[in-house]
Chains A and B, each alone.
Chain A
Amino acid sequence: MLKARASLLNRVLARSYATAASPHALVFLEHRQGDLDSASLSALTAASQLGGQVTGLVVGSPEEVPSVVEKAKKLNGLTTLLHSASPQYSTLLPETVSPLLEKLLSQNSPFTHVVSAHSSSAKSILPRVAAKLDVPAVSDITSLEHDAASGSTTFTRPIYAGNAISTVRASSSIPIKFFTVRSTAFAAAGAGDAVESEVKALDSVEVSDAPTEHISTSLTKSDRPDLGVASRVVSGGRALKNAETFQSTLYPLADALGAAVGASRAAVDAGYADNSLQVGQTGKVVAPELYMALGISGAIQHLAGMKDSKLIVAVNKDPDAPIFQVADVGLVADLFEVVPEMVEKLKQ
Chain B
Amino acid sequence: MRPSAVRLLNILVPIKRAVDYAVKIRVNPEQTGIDLNVKHSMNPFDEIAVEEAVRIRERLKDAVKSIKVVTIGPPKSAETLRTALAMGADSAVHVEILESAPAPEPLGVAKALKALIERQKEGVDVVIMGKQAIDDDAGQTGQMLAGLMGWSQATFASKVEVDPEQKIANITREIDGGLEELRCKLPVIITTDLRQVHLLNEPRYASLPNIMKAKKKPVEKLTAAELGVDLTPRLETIKVTEPLKRVGGGKVANVDELLTKLKEAGVTGKRA
User: Which of B179, B267, B269 contacts A289, CB < 8 Å?
Assistant: B267
* Chain-B contact segment, one of A46-54, A164-172, A197-205: A164-172
User: Which of B135, B242, B262 contacts A329, CB < 8 Å?
Assistant: B262
Is A163 part of the contact surface with B, judged by Cβ < 8 Å?
A: yes
* Chain-A contact segment, one of B2-10, B82-90, B138-146, B213-221: B138-146
Is A108 part of the contact surface with B, judged by Cβ < 8 Å?
A: no
Residues of B within 8 A of A219 (CB): 177-178
Instruction: Say yes or no: A212-B252 contact (C-beta < 8 A), given A120-B174, A166-B237.
Output: no
In contact, B182 and A213 (Cβ under 8 angstroms):
yes
Q: How far is the CB of B16 from chain A (nearest CB, A)?
A: 14
In contact, A271 and B198 (Cβ under 8 angstroms):
yes
Instruction: Give the complex CA separation of A215 and B180 in angstroms.
Output: 8
Chain B, range 1-58, C-beta contacts under 8 Å to A: 19, 21, 24-25, 27, 34
* Chain B contact residues: helix, strand, loop or mixed: mixed
User: Which of A129, A211, A276 contacts B185, CB < 8 Å?
Assistant: A211
* Chain-B contact segment, one of A1-9, A11-19, A152-160, A187-195: A152-160
Instruction: Give the complex CA separation of A61 and B163 in angstroms.
Output: 30
In contact, A130 and B138 (Cβ under 8 angstroms):
no
Instruction: Give the complex CA separation of A312 and B262 in angstroms.
Output: 10
Is A208 part of the contact surface with B, judged by Cβ < 8 Å?
A: no
When C-beta atoms are compared, the residue in chain A nearest to B258 turns out to be: A331
In contact, B238 and A212 (Cβ under 8 angstroms):
no
Residues of B within 8 A of A (CB): 19, 21, 24-25, 27, 34, 105-107, 110, 134-141, 143-148, 151-156, 158, 170, 174-185, 188, 193-195, 197-198, 233-243, 246-259, 261-262, 265, 267-271
Instruction: Give the complex CA separation of A158 and B271 in angstroms.
Output: 34
Residues of B within 8 A of A139 (CB): 137-140
User: Which of B34, B134, B233, B255 contacts A342, CB < 8 Å?
Assistant: B255
Is A55 part of the contact surface with B, judged by Cβ < 8 Å?
A: no
Which 4 residue pairs of A and B lie closest in terms of their CB atoms, listed nearest first? A131-B144, A128-B147, A211-B152, A219-B178
In contact, A161 and B134 (Cβ under 8 angstroms):
yes
In contact, B182 and A137 (Cβ under 8 angstroms):
no
Instruction: Give the complex CA separation of A183 and B143 in angstroms.
Output: 21
In contact, A327 and B181 (Cβ under 8 angstroms):
no
In contact, B267 and A121 (Cβ under 8 angstroms):
no
Residues of A within 8 A of B (CB): 91, 93-95, 98, 119-121, 123-132, 134-140, 154, 157-171, 173-174, 211-220, 226, 228, 232, 255-258, 265, 269, 271, 275-276, 281-282, 289-290, 300-301, 307, 310-313, 315, 319, 324-333, 338, 341-342, 345-348
Instruction: Give the complex CA separation of A328 and B197 in angstroms.
Output: 33
Residues of A within 8 A of B110 (CB): 131
In contact, A164 and B238 (Cβ under 8 angstroms):
no
Among the interface residues A129, A257, A271, which one has the most CB atoms of the partner chain B within 10 A? A257
In contact, B248 and A167 (Cβ under 8 angstroms):
no
Instruction: Say yes or no: A158-B243 contact (C-beta < 8 A), given A121-B175, A168-B236, A170-B235.
Output: yes
Residues of B within 8 A of A165 (CB): 240-243
User: Which of B156, B252, B268 contacts A330, CB < 8 Å?
Assistant: B252
User: Which of B146, B234, B254 contacts A128, CB < 8 Å?
Assistant: B146
In contact, A130 and B107 (Cβ under 8 angstroms):
yes
When C-beta atoms are compared, the residue in chain B nearest to A289 turns out to be: B267
Residues of B within 8 A of A159 (CB): 135-137, 240
Sample 29 A-B pairs with CB under 8 A, ordered by A number: A93-B182, A127-B140, A128-B144, A134-B107, A137-B106, A158-B137, A163-B25, A164-B27, A165-B242, A165-B243, A167-B237, A168-B236, A168-B237, A169-B235, A170-B236, A212-B153, A212-B184, A215-B181, A281-B137, A300-B24, A311-B265, A325-B248, A328-B249, A329-B251, A329-B252, A331-B254, A331-B255, A338-B255, A346-B259
In contact, A154 and B238 (Cβ under 8 angstroms):
yes
Instruction: Give the complex CA separation of A325 and B245 in angstroms.
Output: 10
Residues of B within 8 A of A215 (CB): 170, 181-183
User: Which of B106, B156, B175, B270 contacts A136, CB < 8 Å?
Assistant: B106
Q: How far is the CB of A302 from chain B (nearest CB, A)?
A: 12
Residues of B within 8 A of A120 (CB): 155-156, 174-176
In contact, A211 and B184 (Cβ under 8 angstroms):
yes
Residues of A within 8 A of B239 (CB): 166-167
